[in-house]
Chains A and B, each alone.
Chain A
Amino acid sequence: MGNEVSKAKASLFKIYGLLVVLLILNIVVSKSLGLHVLAMVIPVVMAGFALAYFMHLNVEKKIVWGVMTAALIALCGFFFGSGSDIMMNSGTNWVKCNSYNDKNMARFAGQTQNGHESPYEGHESKLGLDASGAVCTPQRF
């Protein structure tokens, strides 16, 4: 019994040590080597260990797994549902006025940026230019 208790305690320190090593690895690898994609992969691994061994999700009943999965599905719904709105500057019948900033004004003027055409090409009639030629309330980001 006493042996099992000490083993359980030792395993807590082992998981903690592993998480600290992963944290240091995350910082060193990402900042020194510039591997920013790894900066997001390592936290997922750390989260897995924390969920399984710190929060005891590995021995928890399936209903808890179901509840957490439902939350993640809802999150994915919000992410992909709003993603198109954030990532796009114009659609069939709309233009995002609030996306204007200095770089977009240059694009609108017909200049290309990184070889891509202006996202507002063909949508000029929707922009509602006023007498001075200014577009709808440009917002600074």
Chain B
Amino acid sequence: MKPIATDRCATGIPTGRLAMWMLLPGEIVIFGGLLSCYLLYRFHNPEWGVESQHLNLYAGSLNALILLTSSLFILLAQHAAEKEKDYDAAFKWMWATVICGLMYIGVKSYEYTHEIREGFTITANVFWSFYYLATAIHALHVLAGALAIALISFAVKDGRLINRIELAGIYWHFVDLVWIFLFPLLYIAG
């Protein structure tokens, strides 16, 4: 009798991938709930447009580009491991993704430092509460994803657990997707 977790799958989808797709709806509700709540408050408070002018659009745009590029890198890692069987290249692409994640955290830290020094703290008003809450939760997800990819990379380098690149990739693309919505809502449409 084969174990379910690693071999059998009633749905026809490998259990790891199905589990990852089951995780994402929870994340959708978390971020979607936060962003839709922000949207409702934003309609009610048009003066928040003035507050969002204090956000660094260049930093936000750079972060969007970093995350998009990191999504490409994890896809290249998956391609290298699964199609080309080049595990060293996959290892390098995975670490390029991790470095992009750390760059994102660095840019975000710079933004936070600058904004807090200007006096725009989490208690300044409701706009800034939403901003810090949403971006900090997102940054924590980026950090967790980068850590997971870093841990998986060592097994991939030995040619083991190759399927986990795709699993980590799905999570990483979702994190990128969240910023695709967060960035225009806070920085542009604000």
**A residues adjacent to B (C-beta < 8 A):** 5, 8-9, 12-13, 16, 19-20, 23, 26-27, 30-31, 36, 39-40, 42-43, 46-47, 50-51, 54-55, 60-61, 63-64, 67-68, 70-72, 74-75, 78-79, 82-83, 86-87, 140-141
A5-B84, A55-B169 are known; give 13 further A-B pairs, CB within 8 A.
A20-B68, A23-B65, A26-B184, A31-B57, A54-B169, A61-B12, A64-B21, A67-B22, A67-B24, A67-B25, A68-B24, A71-B24, A71-B26
* Segment at the A interface, from B31-39, B101-109, B142-150, B155-163: B31-39
Categorize the interface residue count of chain B.
Answer: 35 or more
Residues in chain A near residue B45, CB distance under 8 A: 141
**11 A-B Cβ contacts within 8 A?**
A16-B71, A23-B65, A40-B189, A43-B180, A54-B169, A54-B173, A55-B169, A75-B32, A78-B29, A87-B44, A141-B125
Contact B33 A50 (CB under 8 A): no
A interface footprint on B33-62 (CB within 8 Å = 1, 0 otherwise): 100110011011100000000000100010
* A30 to B169 CA separation, bound complex (whole angstroms): 30
- Which residue of chain A lies nearest to B60 when distances are taken between CB atoms in the complex? A27
Which of A39, A40, A83 is within 8 Å of B40, CB to CB?
Answer: A83
**B residues adjacent to A (C-beta < 8 A):** 11-13, 18, 21-22, 24-26, 28-29, 32-33, 36-37, 40-41, 43-45, 57, 61, 64-65, 68-69, 71-72, 75-76, 79, 83-84, 125-126, 169-170, 173-174, 176-177, 180-181, 183-185, 188-189
Within the complex, the shortest CB–CB distance from A67 to chain B, in Å, comes to 6
- Which residue of chain B lies nearest to A88 when distances are taken between CB atoms in the complex? B44
Which 4 residue pairs across A and B have the least CB separation, nearest first? Answer: A71-B25, A75-B32, A79-B36, A39-B184
Within the complex, the shortest CB–CB distance from A25 to chain B, in Å, comes to 11
Within the complex, the shortest CB–CB distance from B177 to chain A, in Å, comes to 5
Contact A43 B72 (CB under 8 A): no
Contact B181 A75 (CB under 8 A): no
Residues in chain A near residue B71, CB distance under 8 A: 16, 50, 54
